[in-house]
Amino acid sequence: MPYVVPLSFGYEIINGVLTLYFHSAKEGRKIDILHKNSSVCFEMCCEGEPINAKKTPCNSGYYFSSVLGNGKIEFSTDTNEKIKALTLLMKHQAGIDVIFNEKQVDTVCVYKVVTNDFTGKKKSRPVE
């Protein structure tokens, strides 16, 4: 069955290749499924704000940025890669630079999707 899970993520784009980093508990339904089938599709809605929702609800919309794509999950076992992934995740999610240590990264499962099969879309607020 399809299974959708909202996840926090960090990312980097190098030469048009997107790498998304995720973390979670080391076991559970999601991890079991990913070990059996590493193929995933992803969607990130990165920001948003209603348009005309209060003034004209029938003519409303949403300013947004989104990324959609496909790839395969790769589990990270290298401590340095896990530190990098969690550091990028905190930078993206909280806007802060955190350096994790080996003990911290050993408490979570870290995995990634490396893909060039993605697209983005954005509806920006007009410049006033």
- Res 59: pLDDT: 66
Distance, CA of 36 to CA of 48 (rounded, Å): 34
**How high is the mean pLDDT of the chain?**
88
Distance, CA of 45 to CA of 40 (rounded, Å): 17
The model's pTM is 0.81
Q: What is the mean pLDDT of residues 30-48?
A: 89
21, pLDDT greater than 90: yes
For 2-12, write each residue's pLDDT tens digit: 778 888 899 99
CA dihedral 73, 78, 79, 85 (to 10 degrees): -30
Distance, CA of 58 to CA of 68 (rounded, Å): 27
55, pLDDT greater than 90: no
Residue 128 pLDDT class (50, 70, 90 cuts): confident
Distance, CA of 76 to CA of 88 (rounded, Å): 14
The tokens describing 70, both together, are 């496909």
Partners of residue 68 on adjacent β-strands: 43, 119
19, pLDDT greater than 80: yes
Distance, CA of 99 to CA of 112 (rounded, Å): 19
